[in-house]
Chain A
Amino acid sequence: MGCSMIRLEGVTKRFGTVTAVDEAHLCVDRGEIVALLGPSGCGKTTLLRLVAGFERPDGGAVEVAGRTCSGPGTWIAPEERRVGMVFQDYALFPHLTVAENVGFGVPRRERATRVAELLEIVGLTEQRRRYPHELSGGQQQRVALARALAPSPELVLLDEPWSNVDPFLRETLRAEVAEIFRPLGVTVVLVTHDREEAFSLADRIALMRNGTILQEGTPEELYFSPASRWAAEFVGAANVLSGPVVGGLVETPLGTFPANGSSTHADASVLVRPELLELEPDPAGPAEVVAREFRGHDVLYRVLLEGVELVSQRPSTEVVPLGSRVSIRLHNGRVPVVD
């Protein structure tokens, strides 16, 4: 993939004794929507702030739109990077109206037309004279988006944009934001700890842990071919089955799977996503349903097979009672080896 918008080369950032970002490498191409996904404290917000120029790296180089912004002997101030930022708490200027907030970064002669244009896009023309505290949370977010977009940046950074919004509103707002960004062709980098958020919005996801980027790829790649057991479990429910490798195949209670060259190991593990496990009621079946969690459009079953607990996800139209014996059938799909 290309690095036309962002290139991070071994970027390191320390706060005292804590290393927040540890030799991170990342590439983002023009026009992409990329999510930085990771648990709290993994350094993803710091990485975003390094791109925006609010932090100086202790090592490595940051390149934005082909221009080296920070690196050995180089430093470009945040106001000269032309990077839009939407803060977690929006950081709207409380002493300015909606229109004044949006127009803050626009040169005076273009201000009136540009502000009108953006308020139209985010649908806040009528609220133009209001102050931030007079707006709902969703409206405040749209002002923050409009303000970041007003100077026509090629790159917009979003820091946990929905963490302050209640869960019911989140989906609506997510769709709204995608609708605003897609037609403009802006490159977007978004920080989140919510995998659903990352999956639904991003073209590509960079998975972060302990200050480094573990894996980059499309949501599908991340979900079906995770780079590690930790990654597999972070991006979704996972059955990780271990067994000895015999003749290039891993032997597990569910059957044998290609070991992908890990025959040198005595043992290997494979990942089976829960939706690949089909349950069939069978009085003579080898497994037993030990728990059942109804979730609306699907049901999660926990089944015990030869002393191993497995998770199966079935549509809620199929009903398998608790305690019944079942046989398990493996649906066609990828079963990758994970370490």
Chain B
Amino acid sequence: MSNGAAAAVSSPRRRAPLPLVLAAGLVAAAAAVPIAYLVVRALSADEAGRALVSLDLTVELVVNTALLAVGVVAAALVVGVPLAWLVVRTDLPGRRLWGLAASLPLVIPSFVAALALLGALAPRGLLQQLLEPLGVEELPEVTGYWGALLALTLSTYPYVFLLAAAGLRGIDPSAEEAARSLGSGRAAVFFRVTLPALRPSLAAASLLVSLYVLSDFGAVSLMGYDTLTTGIYTRYEALLALDAAAILALVLVALAVVIVLLATRFGARGTIYRSTPGAGRQAEVVPLGRWRWPALAFCTSVLGLFLVLPLGVLVWWSVQADPITGRAGIAWDAALNSALAAGVSAAVGALVVLPAALLAWRYPSRIARFLERLTLSPSALPGIAVALALVFFGARVGGVVYQSLGLLIFAYVLRFMPYSLASTRASLDAVSPRLEEAARGLGRKPLGATVSVVLPLARTGILAGAALVFLSAVKELPATLLLRPIGFDTLATRIWEGTALGAYAQVAPSALLLVAIAAPLVYLLSWRNAWELGAAD
């Protein structure tokens, strides 16, 4: 192939069809709505509103949030990296099984983790009931900072584990061998070669974990730890101080932006270069020897605490009779609502990103890249900020929109469409533009070629994107709390409300159902791409 043709393939200077650009532009503009509304609302806050967000309080909430984020990131790294190394690089007995089990807590949303921990460890909780015959009167209370830290570590360390494992598999073993031949011992190699090569993976994982913590409302509210999200929620729900809530939401968004910038700077300095592409050799398997036992003890205690304990608690509460109502069962009405809202969001979320994805794939240009970035940007926005902005939007538009199911679905789509866009783009990138040309050469119109060739080839990515939107919408708590129509309960809101009231037994079956819905989806997706999966929260 001639160079001229190569240039043609990489930078086709074709004019994109106007309808495609307009459609992508419309969706991207919608993605910018929340920020715009928050800024307008926060800037126009009146005296009374500003009085409710004193500088002291804001600083305190920011510090609380940052402390929690740093703590959870550190804990997730401490748990996730050794697990990944053991599973990928050593002869740990049963390492495939450990690997599967270690990624499973991903299906436990933070508010379910909080429910399980509270149910197990709270005063009069499960563990104390079990230990009472042994004369244990009181357990250390796991609430506040440490409770939130524990619950959030449970829900987020799998990101670190999955990305670190993928990073370890991607490292060129010859770099490590070169270091060995230059006289470095095994430990020196790990710290001087392996860990630096893992830095991009770990930076990406830390970004995901800290954004998760920033936007978390379920765990912190149930554990009674004040962060920006609980501050926003209180001002909105209890004080009806919308301007104050808007100011705090804007602070939260600013914090998220700072974290994204930090992570990209840190991660960009350590891009992995693989010097020998193609069929890479497997890295040497490190024999653990007698270190096998401490390693097994580590895996057992991590998974005991983060997987067996929470699931065990949920199962135990589910089979117990409820002391108040006498019967515990799954909240099927809420489950149906969840399925409805998440199902519609998944379908819409997969469809609306198609113009931007096709534009960026087929007609790459500065405008296409800009529209794609803008459509991806809500992935850094905490759900509560999006929801609050749409509350303002709904109140402004009024009528049928205000407090409607449609507005809730709009929020889900807006917040989660970055996942379907990323997934669709990834599968489109694997489709050669030659195939579309071949269809055109055989007489198909542009739209016909897209429908008969391009979309069928990208269907796995499109479906995976829809699944990611569904999964995220089912688990979304704060946006649902703010935007749901009156009397509209989802599994997430029902579980959160029940836990807040201490009715653990009553909501445990619903929590199990939620985990059961998420599990197969996560299992299907997790081996596709750890990044896409990571984006799911």
Contact = CB atoms under 8 A, between A and B. Distances in A.
Contact of A78 (B8, B440, B456): B440
A91 B432 contact: yes
B13 A41 contact: no
Contacts of A55: 8
Nearest to B430: A94
Given A18-B7, A54-B437, A79 B442 contact: yes
A257 interface: no
Contacts of B135: none
Given A52-B441, A93-B438, A147-B442, A41 B432 contact: no
Interface string B394-434: 00000000000000000000000000000000000000101
B486 to A, nearest CB: 47
A339 to B, nearest CB: 25
Interface stretch (A42-50, A134-142, A295-303): A42-50
Nearest to B457: A95
B274 interface: no
B276 interface: no
A163 interface: yes
A85 B438 contact: yes
Contacts of B452: 104
Interface in A217-243: none
B96 interface: no
A211 interface: yes
Contacts of B95: none
A160 B11 CA distance: 21
Contact of B439 (A16, A84, A104): A104
A105 interface: yes
A89 B434 contact: yes
A81 B443 CA distance: 8
A80 B442 CA distance: 9
A80 B441 CA distance: 8
Contacts of A21: 4
Contacts of B445: 77, 79
Contacts of A40: 1-3
Contacts of A42: 2, 4
Contacts of B11: 15-16
A88 B3 CA distance: 14
A87 interface: yes
A56 interface: yes
Contacts of A274: none
A15 B7 contact: yes
Contacts of A45: 1-2, 4-5, 8
A44, A83, A84, A93: most-surrounded residue (chain B CB, <10 A)? A93
Interface residues of B, number: 28
A336 interface: no
Nearest to A88: B1
Contacts of B441: 52-54, 78-79, 81, 83-85, 105, 148
A95 B457 CA distance: 7
Nearest to A55: B8
B444 A46 contact: no
A88 B438 CA distance: 11
The interface centre, meaning the residue of B443, B452, B457 with most chain A CB atoms within 10 A of its CB, is: B443
A20 interface: yes
Nearest to A42: B2
B453 to A, nearest CB: 6
Interface in A27-53: 38, 40-46, 49, 52-53
B14 interface: yes
Contacts of A82: 443
A49 B8 contact: yes
A54 B437 CA distance: 7
Among B5, B14, B432, find the residue whose CB has the most chain A CB atoms closer than 10 A. B5
Contact of B7 (A20, A38, A81, A159): A20
Contacts of A53: 440-441
Contacts of B29: none
Nearest to A43: B4
Interface string A274-291: 000000000000000000
B435 interface: yes
Contacts of B446: 77
Nearest to A44: B2
Interface string A66-99: 0000000000011111111101110111110000
A77 B453 CA distance: 18
Contacts of A159: 1
A56 B438 contact: no
Nearest to A208: B2
Contact of B5 (A46, A92, A151): A46
B4 A18 contact: yes
A91 B11 CA distance: 19
B437 A56 contact: no
B1 A163 contact: yes
Of the listed residues A44, A78, A92, A105, the one surrounded by the most CB atoms of chain B closer than 10 A to its CB is A78
A151 B440 contact: no
Contacts of B434: 87, 89, 91
A92 B11 CA distance: 23
A42 B6 CA distance: 11
B437 A41 contact: no
Contacts of B435: 91, 93
A88 B446 CA distance: 22
A148 B440 CA distance: 11
Contacts of A94: 457
A89 B432 CA distance: 10
Contacts of A150: 442
A81 B437 CA distance: 13
A52 B7 CA distance: 17
Nearest to A107: B443
Contact of A15 (B13, B444, B456): B13
Interface string B1-32: 11111011001011000000000000000000
Nearest to B438: A91
A211 B4 contact: yes
A92 B435 CA distance: 7
Contact of A95 (B14, B449, B456): B456
Given A79-B444, A89-B432, A46 B437 contact: no
B84 to A, nearest CB: 33
B453 A20 contact: no
Nearest to A157: B441
A79 B2 CA distance: 24
Contacts of B444: 79, 104-105
B308 to A, nearest CB: 43
Contact of A160 (B1, B437, B443): B1
8 contacts: A13-B4, A42-B2, A46-B8, A54-B441, A85-B441, A104-B444, A147-B438, A148-B441
Q: Which 5 A-B pairs have the closest CB atoms?
A: A105-B442, A20-B4, A41-B3, A45-B5, A91-B434
Given A45-B8, A46-B5, 18 more contacts: A16-B7, A18-B3, A40-B1, A42-B4, A45-B1, A45-B4, A49-B8, A53-B440, A79-B443, A82-B443, A95-B453, A104-B444, A147-B438, A147-B442, A150-B442, A151-B442, A151-B443, A211-B4
Interface of A: 13, 15-16, 18, 20-21, 38, 40-46, 49, 52-56, 77-85, 87-89, 91-95, 104-105, 147-148, 150-151, 159-160, 163, 211
